[in-house]
Amino acid sequence: MFIITSICIVVLIVLYLHGKKQAINNLPKDKQILFTVRLDNISLIENDSVGDDWKFEADINGIKVKQDESVQVLVNPTDKLNFNVKAEELDKIPDVGTNNTSKDVTQLNLSEKNLYSTEVTVKENKGRYIGNTAKWKFDWIISRKINLSDVVRNIF
């Protein structure tokens, strides 16, 4: 009895792993896809005397996200993931930079984590350093999420 139970468990595990792989790799034509998007890091690339105190804003498809935070994004296979980032230097007259970029869902590797970066440049708008710039990079991690029903549908 133990041997039969062990064999059944192994077969179920193999079927589950096969179904999961198939579900992740298949891009459904008529069903929405769930992604987890993480704003992994915000880093300074360069700062030519623009300022030292900063605040940041970011969203993915209109969903606000903070550094080290993940959000769930539900999209159609023909949609894009829209990344909007903002860096603001905090002083009496703030200097602000924004960037809006997008990535087609069809360009993503569905079976692996996707790394994507967006950059924003902030230009000094007043004072003796007018015209100088600071550049920030926002690093994103995008991965597909599947549920058990997707796995079961793709076993056979």
* 133 Cβ neighbours under 8 A, 6+ residues apart: 46, 48, 50, 121, 122, 123, 124
Exposure b/e, 5-41, CB count within 10 A at least 16 = b: eeeeeeeeeeeeeebbebbbebeeeeeebebebbbbe
> Which tens digit of pLDDT belongs to each residue from 35-77?
999 999 999 999 999 989 999 999 999 999 999 999 999 999 8
Provide the pLDDT confidence category of residue 27 given band limits of 50, 70 and 90.
low
Query: Higher confidence at residue 142 or residue 10?
Result: 142
Could you list the beta-strand ranges (E) of 48-155.
54-60, 63-64, 69-75, 80-89, 95-104, 114-123, 133-145
Residue 17 has pLDDT above 90, yes or no: no
**Residue of 144, 153, 148, 155 lying closest to 24 (CA atoms):** 144
pLDDT at position 154, please? 72
pLDDT at position 46, please? 97
Residue ranges of domains in the chain, CATH in brackets: 31-145 (2.60.40)
> Which tens digit of pLDDT belongs to each residue from 80-92?
999 999 999 998 8
C-alpha R_g of the chain: 22
Percent of the chain predicted with pLDDT > 90: 58
Tell me what the pLDDT averaged over the chain comes to: 89
pLDDT at position 151, please? 66
Provide the pLDDT confidence category of residue 100 given band limits of 50, 70 and 90.
very high
Look up residue 35 and give its amino acid: F
> Which tens digit of pLDDT belongs to each residue from 103-138?
999 888 877 899 999 999 999 998 888 999 999 999
What distance in Å separates the CA atoms of residue 94 and residue 89, rounded to the nearest whole number? 5
Spatial contact of 111 and 131, defined as CB atoms under 8 Å apart: no
